[in-house]
């Protein structure tokens, strides 16, 4: 992923977090997926195996698009936390914007 696209995606996700259009953390992402609210998920590629095992099978079963080429530090920085393994996007428009930014990189 190019640096420009990475910054654009992280900026969009940061706005989503501030606007309550996203959930932060493995458990919140799992809960949103179980309720059918999740439109897109960002999972840190360097997250612990335990965290990945908790969230990835559920996201695959629910057919949620997952972006995995971000780091835990990237996700933590935009969410204002120390460590973040997963962020879930619950707004359709925001998810579409992130996907179109990825396609532009493509």
Query: 29-43, pLDDT tens digit by residue?
Result: 999 999 999 999 999
Q: How far apart are CA 59 and CA 64, in angstroms?
A: 5
What pLDDT does 1 receive? Answer: 65
Q: Where are the alpha helices (DSSP H) in the chain?
A: 3-18, 26-34, 49-61, 72-79, 92-105
3-105 belongs to which CATH class?
alpha beta
pLDDT-based confidence at residue 105 (cuts at 50, 70, 90): low
Q: Is the pLDDT reported for residue 8 higher than 70?
A: yes
Q: Is the pLDDT reported for residue 71 higher than 90?
A: yes
Kindly report the pTM of this predicted structure.
0.92
How much is the average pLDDT of 66-90? 94
Determine how β-strand 65-70 pairs with β-strand 86-89: unpaired
Q: Which residues, in sequence order, are CB contacts of 45 under 8 Å at separation 6+?
A: 68, 69, 70, 71
Q: Is the pLDDT reported for residue 3 higher than 90?
A: no
């Amino acid at each position: 992923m190019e640096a420009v696209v990475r910054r654009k995606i992280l900026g969009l996700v940061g706005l989503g977090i501030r606007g309550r259009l996203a959930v932060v953390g493995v458990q919140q992402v799992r809960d949103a997926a179980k309720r059918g609210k999740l439109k897109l998920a960002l999972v840190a590629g360097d997250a612990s195996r335990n965290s990945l095992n908790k969230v990835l099978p559920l996201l695959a079963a629910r057919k949620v698009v997952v972006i995995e080429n971000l780091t835990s530090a990237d996700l933590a920085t935009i969410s204002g936390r120390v460590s973040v393994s997963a962020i879930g996007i619950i707004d359709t428009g925001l998810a579409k914007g992130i996907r179109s930014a990825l396609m532009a990189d493509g």
